[in-house]
Structure 1
Amino acid sequence: MIRITVALLAMFVVGTAQALPKIQFSKLDIAQNKRLIVFINDTNSLSGWAAQVNAHTDGQLKAAIDSAAFESKFGKTQTFYGLAPFAQVTVIGTGSGPLTQSQLQDLGGYAAASTPANGKHQFTVMADSLNTSVSVPAAWMAMGAGLRDYHFDKYKAATAQTQPRDFVFQTANYSAASSKYHTDLKYMVQGVHLTRDMASEPGKSLYPQSFVNRVKDAFDDIDNIDIDVLKVRDMKKHQMGAILGVGQGSIHEPRMLVIQYRGGKKGEAPIALVGKGITFDTGGISLKKNSGMWQMKSDLSGAAAVAGTMLAVASRGEKVNLVGVMPLAENMPAEDAIRPGDVLKTMQGTTIEIISTDAEGRLLLADAVRYTQDEFKPRMLVNIATLTGSAARALSDEYAALVTRDWSLAQDMMNIGETSGEAVWPLPLHPNFFKQIKSDIADIKNSGAGNPGASIGAAVVATFVDKDVPWVHLDIAGVDWLNKPIAVAPKGSQGWGVRFLDQLVRENRN
């Protein structure tokens, strides 16, 4: 009875997940469709299915393209109406080069964006005759369409809420494409949607315990999963003074959510993912300016990305051992909140002087990465966080900041970013940065002299990561929230990190 009550409470507080778009795959048969989406790499001489559509319209498609001066640049999109026998034909440029995995996702996203967000009509995507060496490209395009077809509108009037879109991807290899999407890539879409849901939810509704409830609910009926939740008494037992310090100013107690997925060989060391989960960040006593503070509901994006990645990997039954650790707290000002100048003792025993209570994410990560190493002995440790404005100022919204001790590992991460479609760029971890965080009254302080802020934040976290552990630090402060849509995401939370971390797992499974 208690379990049912908790589940219902979580559903009431956080709401139900948006349904994914309806996606089917079928053989090539344009004669049976009224609304087509076709890809073009050369407007001067139509080829492949564009040429066949042109033939079915008695040359009207080519005439319309010429009249509109349409260019086949990658992502360029235009819709034509009344080209009998079709109700509408949308053309999307692919450019002339070979299409990569991430570009195929983008094309699927452009296809979705070209259709009304009401689910009233079915659209046929002619996902064949593409210049690519990627296996089953239609499946990756379907994934891109699923990523783009996302709406967080549960708080709007029922009449203003959107319905999932409806697509049929036609391709000669439709059976393999259907299998790849429905047994694999669909789960990545679900993971990204979960991440976006969590980052979009108002802070009043999503706090540490409701975050835990929501994620636990998402993992119902998934095999090889163990979930553990550390509460305040557990954190005190482990002497996690950093996370406890951050959370003590809030009426909502901190939590640490730990998910183990046992898909690999028994006893094999896992890959560990650690994500910062500040469910709302006021800055604490070092209060932020009001301008833009509403967006701090998404300061849990690192933890949400870990949850989304764990969901994707476990749902498809990946042959890997994977651990997700999500430290969760709300950073609020109150009579018992930590102050600048206070000293916190971490699980590691290292003491931290608080220079700014708004540099709280690294405090959560300090205890979380120590706990992860001691408890699970991972073969690789990746932490992800919306950590510093400095990362956003340095790299804008094009790259997440990457910091690691190993340059060859950094190069591997850049390749993973290029493949996944979530790009990263390395920042240094110079020995001087560790000197900048030395404290006069404690072992270290949580903020340095100011510049370079992103690397200083990474240096604080690095203090708690053993030097023999392959370690990757991702600062996603510049990429987690979109002020305008991109190919695979509407405005708002991008759910950044799920595609990257998922690709990292794929490339490091045994």
Structure 2
Amino acid sequence: MKKLSALALLWLVPLVSMAMPGIEFSAEREAFNKRVVLFIDSTETLTGSAQTVNQRTDGALLKAMQAAEVSTAFGKTQSFYGVGPYTQITVVGMADEALTQASLQDLGGYAISELPANGEQPVSILTDNLTTEVATPAAWIAMGAGLRDYHFDKYKKAESKTTPRQLVIQSGDMSAATAKYQDDLRYLVQGAHLARDMASEPGKSIYPQAFVDKVKAQFKGIDNVDIDVLKLSDMKKHNMGALMGVGQGSIHDPRLLVIEYTGGKKGDAPIALVGKGITFDTGGISLKKNDGMWAMKSDLSGAAAVAGTLLAVASRGEEVNLVGLMPLAENMPAEDAIRPGDVLTTMQGTTIEIISTDAEGRLILADAVRYAQDEYQPKMLVNIATLTGSAARALSDEYAALITREWELSEQMMAAGKASGELVWPLPLHPNHFKQLKSEIADIKNSGVGSPGASIGAAVVGTFIDEDLPWVHLDIAGVDWLNSDIAVAPKGSQGWGVRFMDQVVRDNK
């Protein structure tokens, strides 16, 4: 098979476009637009700006709400059209509980869920009656709205494309809300949009070098960032037989993209984030069924989430040292692809018998986590991957699977999930899971050793993690791709992991 250079194929790669919604903040006393969104916890009376809107409709809004038996349950939305001077009034239930950062984001997403995607009129979102102890709640509402207002339609006809919404968010502390969003939270939105863009691109557009080029372009002009790219020759020097083995059946050579951000004190150990980046997964020689294979373009979601997290953290100038490693390969069947029964030698020197070439994510992570430890001596390592169907079957799409060696660390990660809005739930890692990996002809096997599949996948990666290093394994196979909308993301890739890992960084800097 003749291999084309990455440079020769660059013309095939469309640019990543992160079209962000227009968001500004204004004082509560300022005039509202013709489209407004209100948050309610009662249909008996309205307070604050919601009461003002009702007065401007001569009480018609409240009467309409009561006649329609509007629900105040959290996230329930209903729109009224042509009431008084307003083109559209959308009411969103917020129940009567204190709102957290995560639930405020959800409300922001619900707030725009019924608004026209291409509405020419700006929309006012009124936030003065939110019940919360969170500082600058309007900024978190804005973040949720920004996360929901995402569209991947670059391959559609011009008349079918959407334009970002224009939102005006009323806030009692306009200056503080503006600063919190513009200097912090909007970068999280950008990071999530980047991760979604990468996972949504067709496989022919995103191959290892194309991933590198697209991500590198996002970091231009950002301070304290150093980017290194290991090519095939570098991998050979480091004996990365697992990463090279997965990629050797593809026309596109594998890459290891390393982004180092040094915003903390010089010499302080960094946090390491390592994300699986299979740019397309056919299963290799252990070929997948055609049904659903199209979705394997998103098997790079772990790497995409690492890139998005680094972008958010570095853009806001967080005082932390952080390194992201993204092993990238395309898993294809070809005359030189690895076969079941082959043995690969990793950078660590541990040999792996290949039972299934479709258990490839753990292979590329093996070399990447070893490189992360040897080169950067991190104080914590988090790896993230769309790794096993077992995790999805166990936890569905409500939780990502969390596996650590220490229960206390699991509890810390569950707290980070709750704070960020990206929930995780622990699965076990038992010494027997490592014993099950024993191979008769190599040190370990990569698959085919029985249940539980998610824990076995983690044990393969854990074989390459120093036992005294705080280590977090995230299996996002169930939460990565949405079959229907949620509060903060439309159907498709939700860029899972950017908010979670960003929270981990905030908690451990």
TM range (shorter): over 0.9
Bigger drift between 216-225 and 48-57 goes to: 48-57
User: How far apart are residue 19 of structure 1 and its match?
Assistant: 1.7
CA gap 1:225/1:9 in 2 versus in 1, 3 angstroms: farther
Structure 1 counterpart SS, 2:175: helix
Asked if 1:414 is matched to 2:429, the reply is no
**Contact 2:77 2:93 (8 Å CA) reproduced:** yes
Alignment partners' CA distance in 1, 2:55 and 2:409: 51
Distance 1:290 1:207, change over 3 A: same
Q: Spell out, residue by residue over 1:232-266, the C-alpha distance to the aligned partner (whole angstroms, 9 max, x if none).
A: 00000000000000000000000000000000000
Aligned-partner Cα distance in 2 for 1:451–1:379: 31
Q: Structure 2 matches for 1:254-403, cutoff 5 A?
A: 254-403=254-403
- For the 8 Å contact 1:14–1:206, the answer to whether it is kept is no
Letter in 2 for 1:234: D
Please give the per-residue CA displacement for 1:3-38, whole angstroms capped at 9, x wherever unaligned: xxx999858613241320000000013644221100
1:353 counterpart letter in structure 2: E
Give, in angstroms, the shift of residue 58 of structure 1: 1.5
Cα distance in 1, alignment partners of residues 212 and 348 from structure 2? 25
Residue of structure 2 in register with 1:57 after alignment: 57
The TM-score, its normalising length taken from structure 1, stands at: 0.97
Matched residue, 1:197: 197
What SS does the aligned partner of 1:87 have? strand
Cα shift at 1:449:
2.4
- Out of 439-448 and 251-260, give the one that drifted further: 439-448
2:127 aligns to what?
127
Return the alpha-carbon distance in structure 2 between the equivalents of residues 437 and 376 of structure 1: 28
Q: Structure 2 stretches of 5 or more lacking a match?
A: 1-5
Q: Which residue identity does 2:195 align to in structure 1?
A: T
Cα distance, 1:128 vs structure 2: 1.3
CA distance in 1, matches of 2:88, 2:246: 55
Alpha-carbon contact 2:261-2:322 (below 8 Å) kept: yes
Q: CA deviation at 1:48?
A: 2.8
8 Å Cα contact 1:386-1:475 kept in structure 2: yes
Structure 1 residues not aligned, in runs of 5+ = 1-5
Matched with 1:440 is 440
* Number of corresponding residues: 504
Structure 2 Cα separation of the partners of residues 335 and 178 of structure 1: 57
- 1:3 alignment counterpart: none
Counterpart mapping for 1:50-129 below 5 A: 50-129=50-129
- Displacement, 1:208? 0.1
Aligned to 1:38: 38
What is the Cα deviation at residue 188 of structure 1? 0.5
How far residue 51 of structure 1 moved from its aligned partner, in angstroms, is 2.1
Aligned to 2:429: 429
Q: Match for 2:321: what amino acid? A: N
- What's the % identity of the aligned pairs? 70
The residue matched to 1:82 in structure 2 has which SS?
A: strand
Is the Cα–Cα contact under 8 Å of residues 41 and 72 in structure 2 kept in the other structure? yes
Deviation of 1:129 after TM superposition, in Å, equals 1.6
Paired position in structure 1 for 2:229: 229
Quote the Cα distance in structure 2 between the aligned partners of 1:33 and 1:252.
Answer: 51
Q: TM-score, normalised by structure 2?
A: 0.97
Instruction: State the AA in 1 paired with 2:46.
Output: L
- Compute the displacement of 1:364 (Å): 0.4
Distance 1:76 1:390, change over 3 A: same
Q: CA RMSD in A?
A: 1.3
Structure 2 SS opposite 1:442:
coil
Q: 1:8 to 1:308 in 2, by over 3 A?
A: farther
Deviations 1:256-287 (A, max 9, x none): 00000000000100000000000000000000
Distance 1:76 1:367 in 2: 47
- Contact 1:355 / 1:445 at 8 angstroms: preserved in 2? yes
Distance apart, 1:57 and its partner CA: 1.5
Report if aligned partners of 1:14, 1:201 keep a CA contact under 8 Å in 2. no
User: Which structure 2 residues correspond to residues 480-491 of structure 1 after superposition, within 5 A?
Assistant: 480-491=480-491
The separation in 1 between residues aligned to 2:181 and 2:169, in whole angstroms, is 11
Give the secondary structure class of the aligned counterpart of 1:242.
helix
CA distance in 2, matches of 1:164, 1:283: 37
